[in-house]
Each structure stands twice: as C-alpha cells, then as structure tokens.
Amino acid sequence: MIRVLLADDENLIRTALAALLALEEDLDVVAQAASGAEALAMARAHNPDVAVLDLQMPDRDGISVAAELTTTMPGCATVIVTGHGRAGHLKRALSAGVRGFLPKTVSAAVLTDVVRTVHRGGRYVDPQLAAEAISAGDSPLTPREADVLELAAGGAPVEEIAARAHLSPGTVRNYLSAAAAKLGAPNRHAAVEIARRHGWV
C-alpha cells in the first residue's frame, strides 16, 4: 500500500483528488493539508511514501515544501501539480529533488500512474512542460536576486524588503536594479512580471 499526502489550498480540488486516489486498491490517502506548513506537519505525523503538493499555496510554494521533505524525509517522494506551470518552476522543482511535475489538467489515471512511478524511484515530467523548459533557457538571475525580486512582488517598499531579507536598503536596491537590467525591464514591477512569466520567481 502506497501512503499518500495531498496538499492543496483549494478544498474542492484536494477532496476530489483524495476521492479519486481512494478508488485505487494500492493507494491510501493518509493525510491532507491546505498549506505548506500544514503539509510539513502532516508529513511528520503520518510519514507518507509520496507527497502530492500544489505548486502555489498561501504560505509557501510546493517546491520549498518539497525541498524540505527531500532533506528531512528522504523516503518520501514528492510530486508537484500546478494549474500554471512555467519552465522556471520545473527547473527549480527538479533542483529541489521533486520526482514528478505535472499540470492539473492531467487525468486521474495519469496522476495515479505518476504516484506509483515516483514511489518505485522513477521520475515523471509532463512532456509539454519539459519541452518548454528546454526552449526557455536558464534564469539569468542569481538566487539572491530572485529572492529579493520575489519579496518585491507584492509591491512592498525597499525598507520592508530589506528587513525581511536581512539586508541593507542599499543592497536591496542594487539587487532590484541588477535583476531589472538582466531582464530588460524598465522597473522592478516589470521585472517581477517577466520573472513570474518564466517561472523564475
């Protein structure tokens, strides 16, 4: 029996997935979560074999949750499902140790096959997302530039970003300026949009 954790902040989608997976004789949904923090807590409590994580949750994204699970619970394989996958998301996910990456448009049969595949130690990447990732190229941003740009996404002032990133305001301005220049953006707001469109933040 493969023990599965489901994490998605949309209750209808999560409960529907749980009902579909429960129809399979070899799958057992042992826990559900509506946020990244809850997913980590449920994983510690239930020790699942596979965690199926939504890419975007309110408190943290599925990739960062997957990275933590890969480090702290290496026996738990992770799968990311997303409503809007981008090439950059896929590359970040694979770097974080994610073993499966697929859009929410796949059939229940594909999802159950992916859960079994990653549990056996295999990998699955949606073919269209894989092709887009190859053609998109790598992010020009350094990890620190991407972090600062992500903090700027909500329109926070430089001082707030600096406090959250534990940097000086001048350093934050330098990172934002460098990111905008690398992305060919006229300002940080446009830089955020470009980076998001490619899945680099």
- Domain boundaries in the chain? 2-135, 143-198
Residue 162 tokens read as 């600096």
**Strand duo 100-103 + 27-33: pairing:** unpaired
Q: How confident is the model at residue 127 (pLDDT cuts 50, 70, 90)?
A: confident
Residue 63 tokens read as 């990739």
Q: What is the CATH number of domain 143-198?
A: 1.10.10.10
- Write down the mean pLDDT value for the chain: 89
- Residue 92's φ and ψ, nearest 5 degrees, are -65, -40
Q: Which residues contact 25 (CB under 8 A, 6 or more apart)?
A: none
CATH architecture under which domain 2-135 falls: 3-Layer(aba) Sandwich (3.40)
Q: What is the pLDDT of residue 137?
A: 63
Q: Which residues contact 69 (CB under 8 A, 6 or more apart)?
A: 40, 43, 51, 76, 78
Judged against a pLDDT cut of 90, whether residue 135 lies above it is answered with no
Judged against a pLDDT cut of 80, whether residue 167 lies above it is answered with yes
